Amino acid sequence: MLNNISIKTILTLRYDASLKETLIPKLSWEHFQQKDPSHDPVSQVERIIIENMKQKISESGQGKVAFSLSGGIDSTLIFSLLRKNMPDIDVQAISVRFSNSQDETSQAAKIASQFDSNHHIVHVDNYLQELPAAISIVKLPFWDLHWYHVVKKAKDFSSILISGDGGDELFGGYTFRYSKFLSLVRDDFSVSSKIRAYLDCHERDWVPDQDRLFGTACKFSWDEIHDILRNYFDNSLDPITQVFLADFNGKLLYNWLPLNTAFHDFFGVKAVTPLISPDLINYSTHLPHLLKYDATKNEGKLVLRKLLLKYLGGKSVPNMISSAKQGFSVDTIKLWNNYGHRICKYYLSNARIVKEERWIDEAWIKDHIDKVEGYSNPRYVNKFLGLLALEVWYRLFVSKELSRTDKLD
């Protein structure tokens, strides 16, 4: 059974802050204290990544691997390092194309072609259709489960799946948040003010009337959310490094890693994630933030960009990598118009999470479910998809009205 903290944090932060064990250790602010590197950081990062991949692939005994290739900096870098340093490995690249969403597979196809690898595209029409199957595997009420499709395809090629996960958190990839955060904070800001600014940079994870969303059995308080984030901003780190710390200890630890690992275990696939190897975490977290993020240009992943440039054969990073790179993302507004509104209305009109558990307020659902199309951003759509995931979870594990093989059409 879910606890109230799980429900409130999943629907507010988009990660389960109640999880007691994490697959990689939670870090304190001391782990992010900056140290000037004694050697060229680009060469050091290159060495650590290559050593990790060679070790993991050698231990697996596999001559063939699957690779998640989104076409962004992280996956392109790891892909190019793999192809250049282990050319005898048979690499099967996988990309996902979601209907009515930005198609990044053509960029991924160019990269796969440059490095002479087979490229497979998984087409997903209704993103919500296999939500019961995905939730039955992860056993948590999340809706953003694109990794299900990647791993499901990867198992057809290999028991090893390599990805570039972790680059955003460790090397400063969330530039759209950093620029907003720095524009909102001042040197004299209190801890609470910085937390509010941080949450404002994650506005897609909550809605303006968030306090009205929850029912009587799940009392919500912003103070409770602030307490979860407080240690990340109540320290002597500079503001942007505090954001790096909060991001590392957020979705990476309490959403992506536990969910992705559940898919790996279910499909019998072992993950190789060089960017979040223990050695690279220990090295990258201490790098000065100026080696990761340039605030004047609003450009991140500076070390990774320099390393990638070395492997692109003289081609510039912007020419090879889409500036609008989103990483297997779905356009939730179009998803809502095509499938989401109808499916959410069917499952939430008599929701067990309202009637049986009183976790969610019925009036909030009625106030918004037919108005979402008129909103200018996807915040309310995302929230309804979160409620749908919670309702599906309940019908799978509590009332048992749904099974893993049921489809949402």
Mean pLDDT by 10 residues, the chain (409 residues): 94 97 96 95 98 97 96 95 97 94 86 93 97 99 97 98 97 97 96 98 97 97 98 98 98 97 98 98 98 97 96 64 59 93 97 98 96 78 98 99 98
Q: What per-residue confidence (pLDDT) applies to 351? A: 98
Question: What digits encode the pLDDT tens for the residues 176-203?
Answer: 999 999 999 999 999 999 999 999 999 9
80 contacts 164 by C-beta, under 8 angstroms: no
| Residue 221: other Cβ atoms inside 10 A | 11
Q: What per-residue confidence (pLDDT) applies to 238? A: 97
Question: What digits encode the pLDDT tens for the residues 272-295?
Answer: 999 999 999 999 999 999 999 999
Helices (H) and strands (E) in the chain, counts: 21, 5
Domains annotated for the chain, with CATH where assigned, are 28-130+142-172+245-320 (3.40.50.620)
* DSSP symbols for 289-302: GGGT-BTTTTB--H
Task: Specify burial of residue 272 (Cβ count, 10 A radius: 0-12, 13-18, 19+).
Answer: buried
22 contacts 257 by C-beta, under 8 angstroms: yes
Which residues lie across from 118 on neighbouring strands? 92
Q: What per-residue confidence (pLDDT) applies to 324? A: 47
Q: Which residue pairs, CB below 8 angstroms and at least 24 apart, start in 363-369?
A: 363/212, 364/209, 364/212, 364/213, 369/341, 369/344, 369/345
